Structure 1
């Protein structure tokens, strides 16, 4: 139960999902190469529950935007910190992410919610 997980959620236009998915598949492999045990991303499908604040509200999603929810699992916070350093320095990441963050702003990190989490409970 000592795993450490980075979680994230962000909006992306529906019409850019195929392009984003191609990048995400490659990014996942880089994260795993640098220490991640698992890398998962999902697209929102059923995001409303009465009485709660939804993910689209949280990230101020606009009409035509999908919500991506994901996480990266590490064996420890230390491994995660080292992986973050390695991934940030990996030139492949810059090449992959540049087309998503150019003037078209397919991905806007300023609209992403992110955090690192230590295990509270795990049931498998």
Structure 2
């Protein structure tokens, strides 16, 4: 079952190319550590929210842009081994020392796949990213909702819909996923994304989806605390 290491980062807008280069340099090591895909996306339509939003999640400053990124692994064991290998590799330590962003405000965690709707091959053209706090008792209800909506989104142009459930989500000193969505009690973090061929296809697809009565349902979570935004890929590497 697919396992995901998800990240959200605040990067100075002026450092976009430096960030892309930094990620590209890390890609070969990520591949050799067992990952099957690495994607980095740059904030394009990231709205302000009343309660929560991506900017607040990483305490982004006015001159910073939110990056939504992830690594995909075949399973958690592969991901855990990869993380241990990276922590002990001097090359990664050197890269960590020269990160073109504030690593203390980066949020990250491990997520097990609840649903992976796989479409056609090839890199993504645009990504809708989301973070959600879901009561632990509603895990199956959330999975059922995702299984219902994913085929509709695919029908209207999405190439892939992925929903993942928080499995190894650490607390941070400055920021973390739970604080990002104001999670309480037994709520778990869902890290999800939708891939589209292009930003135009995404706009058209959502217009059709929102008009479809099949998309009307009761959400098994507090939608007011859901974080979402549109992101443009700056790196998309896949390996078999």
Q: TM-score range by the shorter chain?
A: 0.7 to 0.9
For 1:71, the equivalent position in structure 2 comes to 70
**Contact conserved, 1:10 with 1:112, CA < 8 A, in 2?**
yes
Which has the bigger relative contact order, CA under 8 A and spacing at least 6? 1
For 2:21, the equivalent position in structure 1 comes to 22
Structure with a larger share of its residues in helix = 1
Seen in structure 2, the aligned counterparts of structure 1 residues 89 and 76 have a Cα distance that, compared at 3 Å, is same
Give the match's secondary structure for 2:78.
helix
Give the match's secondary structure for 1:119.
strand
Structure-to-structure mapping, 1:25-40, within 5 angstroms: 25-40=24-39
Unaligned segments of structure 2, at least 5 residues: 119-240
Structure with a larger share of its residues in strand = 2
The higher radius of gyration belongs to 2
- The one of 116, 120, 124 aligned to 1:122: 116
Structure-to-structure mapping, 1:101-116, within 5 angstroms: 106-116=100-110
Query: Following the alignment from structure 1 to structure 2, what is the Cα–Cα distance between the partners of residues 38 and 90?
Result: 20
**Contact conserved, 1:7 with 1:115, CA < 8 A, in 2?**
yes
Unaligned segments of structure 1, at least 5 residues: 101-105
Q: TM-score, normalised by structure 1?
A: 0.87
Give the match's secondary structure for 2:56.
helix
CA-based RMSD: 1.6
Give the match's secondary structure for 1:79.
helix
Point out 4+ residue stretches in structure 1 off by more than 4 angstroms.
49-52
CA apart distance, 1:44: 0.6
Between the two proteins, the alignment pairs up a number of residues equal to 118
